[in-house]
Amino acid sequence: MAQVVIEGVEENVREVMARYGNNPARMIEILQDLQDLYGYLPKEVLEEVSRQTEVPLTRVYHVATFFKAFTLKPRGKYTIQVCTGTACHVKGSYRVLERFEDLLGVRPGDTTDDLMFTLETVNCVGCCALGPVVIINGKYHGHVAPVQVESLIKEYRER
Amino acid sequence: MVKLIIDGKEVIAEEGQTVLQAAQEAGIYIPTLCYHHEVKPYTACRLCMVEVTKGKRTRFVTACDYPVAEGMVVRTNTDKIQRCRKLIIELLLAQCPGLPRLQELAERFGVEKVRFSKGESDCILCGLCVRTCQEVVGLSAIGFEGRGFTRRVCTPFDEASDPCILCGACAYVCPVDAIPVEEVDGYRVMERWHKRSKLVACSKCGRYFMTEDELRLLKEKTGLPEESLRLCMDCR
């Protein structure tokens, strides 16, 4: 895993906490803002949050692992979301997902070692007529066939 | 004072008591797993389910947190309750098939086979250890991680937890004996929390009786001189 440099944790946490009146009850919002800042929730950040809110680390860790919106692992530059909802599944999205897994060498929820791609699955994004749907950093790609996956990855890698 | 009827027996309880407390004081048995009188009720295991009739309504409630009320009629051993308990034990056993304590319970309540697909966990997720560490010991060294079927009890990041003093309270309260504590070569070891601490021997009788981490915390909390704390309970 590539080394990620984490700086200014103490000041950043203090600033975010002040935004929420230093109220530990607003833990979710505090963690959300910190995740926006770092792209994920590094261990150092959770420890600092625990120190400053005086909430035991076990509690902070529980909140951070409970919600799917939080991630404790670094995220890639591009997030690839493969829809595995009913319509996309029927249209063969699992084969598209398999192709992504093979080419990137990661399972859904994981990030490539070069921190380029994070692979995820989602359950229906509301445009079933376009299935199978793949969303890369918010851009929707419809009717994705397994053979197109390689060129999609290439396209984003070369950006 | 509140008067209620449990299994046909008139019971007098104090206001604010729970059905479980009232039943225990009256010598009526209600099975529990996640309950301990030193920590707040949590209603995780659902094993203390009883039938409560107030006025015209009958409901199933967890006895460990349900407050007593005047004129309440409680039944702890009806057919429905027995079926309910059996199902709960069966589900717990499906999750943790290898736990002797659960197997005993299953035998006692006549659960003969498990119809559900089996897991391989050794923890029933009742959270009694987590709550004891928080409420009684006051350290919160262990906690929950995740949710749903990935939920488990662990130390943060699965690393040795700083606040843990290896007091073993979690192991003591665990209703299924799933937290091993070992003492080897002058160390107390708790593999589950990735932690070990040197044992302190009593300065009089020489018996190992606490860990250095415990001693440190005791000194901090009580402010007593170390020599007096280095004596075991028998020599004090």
Burial group, residue B29, by CB count within 10 angstroms (0-12, 13-18, 19+): exposed
In a domain, B92, yes or no: no
Q: Is the pLDDT of residue B170 over 60?
A: yes
Chain B nearest CA to A84, separation (Å): 20
In a domain, B99, yes or no: no
pLDDT tens digits, one per residue of B24-58? 999 999 999 999 999 999 999 999 999 999 989 99
Minimal CA–CA distance to B89: which of B154, B81, B21, B129? B81
Candidates B129, B139, B147, partner chain A, best to mutate (most A CBs within 10 A):
B147
CA closest to A67 among chain B residues: B146
Cβ-defined contact of B156 to A66 (cutoff 8 Å): no
Which positions in chain A touch B141 (Cβ < 8 Å)?
Answer: 58
Which positions in chain A touch B147 (Cβ < 8 Å)?
Answer: 65-66
SS3 B203: coil
Minimal CA–CA distance to A49: which of A84, A12, A96? A12
- Structurally, chain B folds into a number of domains equal to 2
With a pLDDT cut of 90, the percent of chain B lying above it is 92
Domain A78-157: assigned CATH number: 3.40.30.10
Chain B nearest CA to A24, separation (Å): 16
Q: Which among B77, B108, B137 is the end of a domain?
A: B77
Chain A nearest CA to B128, separation (Å): 15
pLDDT tens digits, one per residue of A80-110? 999 999 999 999 999 999 999 999 999 998 9
Please state the rounded mean pLDDT for residues B73-81. Answer: 96
Q: Cis (ω within 30 of 0) for the bond into B156?
A: no
In a domain, B40, yes or no: yes
- Chain A: residues touching B (Cβ < 8 Å): 43, 46, 56-62, 65-66, 72
Cβ-defined contact of A59 to B143 (cutoff 8 Å): yes
Q: Please, where in chain A does CATH 3.40.30.10 lie? A: 78-157
Please state the rounded mean pLDDT for residues B10-20. Answer: 95
Same domain, B142 and B220: yes
The ipTM is 0.89
- The boundaries of the domain holding residue B194 are 128-229
Q: How far apart are CA A75 and CA B30, in angstroms?
A: 50
**Mean pLDDT, rounded, of chain B:** 94
Cβ-defined contact of A58 to B161 (cutoff 8 Å): yes
Q: Please give the order of strands across the beta sheet that includes B2-6.
A: B9-13, B2-6, B73-75, B49-54, B57-62
What per-residue confidence (pLDDT) applies to B233? 86
Cβ-defined contact of A59 to B140 (cutoff 8 Å): yes
Per-residue confidence of chain A (159 residues) as pLDDT tens digits? 444 567 789 999 999 999 999 999 999 999 999 999 998 999 999 999 999 999 999 999 999 999 988 999 888 899 999 999 999 999 999 999 999 999 999 999 899 999 999 999 999 999 999 989 999 998 999 999 999 999 999 999 988
Same domain, B136 and B205: yes
Q: Which among B52, B77, B102 is the end of a domain?
A: B77
Could you tell me how many residues make up chain B?
236
Chain A nearest CA to B157, separation (Å): 8
pLDDT tens digits, one per residue of B112-159? 999 999 999 999 999 999 999 999 999 999 999 999 989 999 999 999
What per-residue confidence (pLDDT) applies to A4? 57
* Helix, strand, coil % in chain B, rounded to nearest 5: 30, 20, 50
Same domain, B133 and B225: yes
In a domain, B152, yes or no: yes
- Number of CB pairs < 8 Å for A and B? 38
What per-residue confidence (pLDDT) applies to A1? 42
In a domain, B108, yes or no: no
Please state the rounded mean pLDDT for residues B73-88. Answer: 96
Same domain, B140 and B62: no
Cβ-defined contact of A59 to B130 (cutoff 8 Å): no
In a domain, B101, yes or no: no
Same domain, B139 and B69: no
Same domain, B55 and B134: no
- Can you list the alpha helix ranges (DSSP code H) found in chain A? 9-19, 27-38, 43-53, 57-66, 86-90, 93-104, 149-157
Domain with residue B54: its CATH number is 3.10.20.740
The DSSP string of B136-162 is II-----EEESSGGG-EEE-GGGS--T
